[in-house]
Amino acid sequence: MLKLNLPKRFNAAQYLVDRNVEEGRGERPAIFFEDQTYNYHQVLEKVNRSANMLKNLGVEMENRVMLLLRDSPEMIFSFFGAIKLGAVPIPTNILMKSQDFLHVMNDSRAKVLIVDSVFLPEIEKILDQAAFYRKIVVIGGEDHGQLPFDQLMTQASSQFDAADTTPDDVAFWLYSGRNPEMLMGAVHHHSHMVYCTEAYAKGILNMNEEDRVLGSFLFFAYGLGNSVYFPFSVGASTALFNHRPTPDLVYEDLMKYRPTLFFSVPTLLGALADYKKTCRREGKDLPPVDGLRACISSAEILSPEIYHRFKEEFGVEVLDGTGSTEICHIFLSNRFGEVRPGSTGKVVPGYNTRLIDEDGDPVSPGQIGHLLISGGSIASAYWNMREETRDNMLGEWFVTGDRYLEDEDGFYYFRGRSDDMLRVGGKWVAPQEVENTLNQHPAVAESAVVGSQDKDDLIKPYAFVVLKPDHTPSEQLEEEIKEFVKERIAVYKYPRWVEFIHEMPKTPGGKLQRFVLQERIKGLKIED
């Protein structure tokens, strides 16, 4: 575990914002957004105004403030402003719907909601059921009948002394979708952002003040680190966008902002590679992406195929890693000059791992086990979820719910969620391995594998497949796909059934809802 040596009185907003001005970086660019650029002096002023605005609205230390905002400078000002006041901001998933927003509002007991006007209609649906909010502050829009953000900011003072907090004070919450029945508030502290920066941003990416980052979705743990506290920790700059992350628009962003570090997800990386290749085939000359020294991939498993496709088209290394809401950011990662496609890399220095079997005993080398993590950025609890906290936060260890295999060189390979693994013929089958193989077929755009019972009530792999636009479902193609898998992995792992569907069921955050597919075939008696 890293030793941070933070002072007893410590406020993360002061460290991440004020310190850059105090150390002479006030004129350096901090945020790029559309046609706007904010230097660190300007960010400090906005953060101070945000802290005073919240104080004027009656927010006190330890009060929660819900943020329902698109990626924007205002999101950053509000986040740091609340922390500087000693309050607790809650960046909230904007892809959710009204009932999820209601749960976050009532569960957190947030006094103030800062919301983008485009999401106000969803909020208005549930206001009569929201028990604890006192004020709603709206960014953008007109005649909404709520408090206008810009006006309140203008009226607030630009001077503010950071609250007298400690490294162990609560700094922010992030709601986790780990429990399929209920979103859970993971509680993070002032020291956690510093810990993640030292361990990953500096320790793995060698991030420094000359870097410019491009990422998205600041309400997720991954995006919040990438585009907010990582660059602010080192005096670098962040480029934001709030349009849909389509490959053509993101490519324009890469051209416009010229980032040195691009944080993304495998789905978008594959789409970007395909977009560039298609443009080249059609005779369209895209300008090269200059200055990019690395791409970082997380949030879903990066297949070797997408890794190679992206690297071939863009000529930069892709560092795949994995993290979680509860651990705050990435804890397994590939490294520069030491990438193994298909692996999520080695343990990030500052974290420790354990792989255990069903009885809690360490697994043998090369065997699949449940992954536990320890380190200095793990959430201390799920808010008001004592049983979930006790089940998943075992002293210094956090139960990730993932199964991994560690090879002899210390590289980790994802082998499915703990409740996704299939027992086929007495052998474990990881759906992810079958999916990776399916996705290599030239007709397959996306796949998902679940377990289904055969005529003897034995579990076998069942594949759902989304085809690429130029392919049509057929029995012949189904058999071809099965044979394709048989030829590439152990025969017992191939899907006994292949069902073609138009799209995969996913959460608002883009994660596969495997249980929806399971319900689709539940109770069916399927013949071989």
Write out 96-113 in H/E/C secondary structure: CCHHHHHHHHHHHCCCEE
Q: Is residue 89 part of a domain?
A: yes
Structural domain including 310 reads: 214-378+394-417
- Distances from the Cα of 363 to the Cαs of 207, 283, 366, 418, 426, in angstroms? 35, 54, 8, 14, 18
Residue 425 has pLDDT above 70, yes or no: no
Direct distance between the N- and C-terminal alpha carbons of the chain, in angstroms, rounded to an integer: 52
Q: Which two tokens stand for residue 524?
A: 């069916």
**Are 220 and 185 found together in one domain?**
no
435: closest CA among 449, 423, 424? 449
Assign residue 75 a region (left: φ > 0; alpha: ψ between -120 and 50; beta: otherwise): alpha
Q: Is residue 184 part of a domain?
A: yes
- Provide the pLDDT for residue 525: 43
CA–CA separation, 415 vs 421, rounded Å?
8
**Are 275 and 330 found together in one domain?**
yes
- Distances from the Cα of 496 to the Cαs of 79, 277, 445, 473, 524, in angstroms? 49, 34, 19, 16, 14
**Single-letter residue type at 49:** R
Q: Is residue 6 part of a domain?
A: no
Residues with Cβ within 8 Å of 88's Cβ and at least 6 positions away in sequence, in order, are: 62, 63, 64, 65, 82, 170, 171, 172, 173
> Which pairs with CB-CB distance under 8 Å and at least 24 residues apart come from 351-355?
351/1, 351/199, 351/327, 351/375, 352/1, 353/406, 353/412, 354/397, 355/404, 355/405, 355/406
| 179-221 pLDDT tens trace | 767 889 999 999 999 999 999 999 999 999 999 999 999 999 9
- CA count, 13 A, side-chain hemisphere, 198: 16
**Are 21 and 144 found together in one domain?**
yes
**Are 136 and 261 found together in one domain?**
no
**Are 222 and 237 found together in one domain?**
yes
**Are 256 and 324 found together in one domain?**
yes
CA–CA separation, 408 vs 346, rounded Å?
11
- Provide the pLDDT for residue 456: 58
| 389-400 pLDDT tens trace | 999 999 999 999
- Provide the pLDDT for residue 349: 97
Residue written as tokens 């819900």? Answer: 66
Q: Is residue 322 part of a domain?
A: yes
Residue 419 has pLDDT above 80, yes or no: no
Helix or strand or coil: residue 406?
A: strand
User: In this structure, what CATH number is given to the domain that contains residue 493?
Assistant: 3.30.300.30
Q: Is residue 150 part of a domain?
A: yes
**Are 69 and 25 found together in one domain?**
yes
Specify the DSSP class assigned to residue 370: E
- Provide the pLDDT for residue 457: 64
Assign residue 109 a region (left: φ > 0; alpha: ψ between -120 and 50; beta: otherwise): left
Residue 160 has pLDDT above 90, yes or no: yes
**Are 411 and 275 found together in one domain?**
yes
Domain boundary among 151, 174, 189: 189
Query: Between residues 506 and 16, which one has the greater pLDDT?
Result: 16
Buried b (16+ CB within 10 A) or exposed e, 11-45: bbbbbbbbbbbeeebeebbbbbbeeeebbbebbbb
Identify the burial level of 224 via C-beta atoms within 10 angstroms of its C-beta, where 0-12 means exposed, 13-18 middle and 19 or more buried. Answer: buried
- CA count, 13 A, side-chain hemisphere, 462: 23
Residue 404 has pLDDT above 60, yes or no: yes
Residues with Cβ within 8 Å of 354's Cβ and at least 6 positions away in sequence, in order, are: 362, 369, 371, 372, 397
Query: Between residues 171 and 182, which one has the greater pLDDT?
Result: 171
- Provide the pLDDT for residue 427: 65
Q: Is residue 207 part of a domain?
A: no
**Are 430 and 493 found together in one domain?**
yes
User: In this structure, what CATH number is given to the domain that contains residue 244?
Assistant: 3.40.50.12780
Q: Name the CA radius of gyration of the chain, rounded.
A: 24
Residue 527 has pLDDT above 50, yes or no: no
- Provide the pLDDT for residue 182: 82
- Distances from the Cα of 6 to the Cαs of 228, 271, 504, in angstroms? 20, 42, 46
For residues 437 and 485, the answer to whether their CB atoms sit within 8 Å is yes
Residue 528 has pLDDT above 50, yes or no: no
Q: What's the domain count of the chain?
A: 3
| 124-136 pLDDT tens trace | 999 999 999 999 9
210: closest CA among 240, 236, 238, 239? 236
CA–CA separation, 251 vs 288, rounded Å?
10
| 437-473 pLDDT tens trace | 999 999 999 999 998 987 656 789 999 999 999 899 9
User: In this structure, what CATH number is given to the domain that contains residue 113?
Assistant: 3.40.50.980
Q: Is residue 201 part of a domain?
A: no
CA–CA separation, 237 vs 259, rounded Å?
9
Per-residue DSSP letters for 433-456?
HHHHHHTTSTTEEEEEEEEEE-TT
**Are 146 and 119 found together in one domain?**
yes
Specify the DSSP class assigned to residue 201: I
Q: Is residue 208 part of a domain?
A: no
Where are the strands (E) in 275-421, listed by range? 294-297, 318-323, 330-333, 346-347, 351-356, 368-375, 393-394, 397-406, 412-417
Q: Which two tokens stand for residue 139?
A: 């960014």
- Provide the pLDDT for residue 515: 79
CA–CA separation, 481 vs 483, rounded Å?
5
Specify the DSSP class assigned to residue 145: S
Residue 122 has pLDDT above 50, yes or no: yes
Helices (H), ranges, 380-471: 386-392, 431-438
- Provide the pLDDT for residue 180: 60
Q: Which two tokens stand for residue 432?
A: 């992810």
Task: Using DSSP bridges, classify how beta strands 135-139 and 112-116 pair: parallel, antiparallel or unpaired.
Answer: parallel
| 279-304 pLDDT tens trace | 999 999 899 899 999 999 998 778 89
Residue 84 has pLDDT above 90, yes or no: yes
**Are 239 and 374 found together in one domain?**
yes
Q: What angle do CA 135, 138, 142 make, to 5 degrees?
A: 125
- Provide the pLDDT for residue 298: 93
Q: What angle do CA 233, 237, 243 make, to 5 degrees?
A: 120
Residue written as tokens 């890293």? Answer: 2
Where are the strands (E) in 335-472, listed by range? 346-347, 351-356, 368-375, 393-394, 397-406, 412-417, 422-424, 427-429, 444-453, 459-467
Helix or strand or coil: residue 69?
A: coil
For residues 258 and 290, the answer to whether their CB atoms sit within 8 Å is yes
**Are 254 and 334 found together in one domain?**
yes
CA–CA separation, 323 vs 329, rounded Å?
5
Residue 69 has pLDDT above 90, yes or no: yes
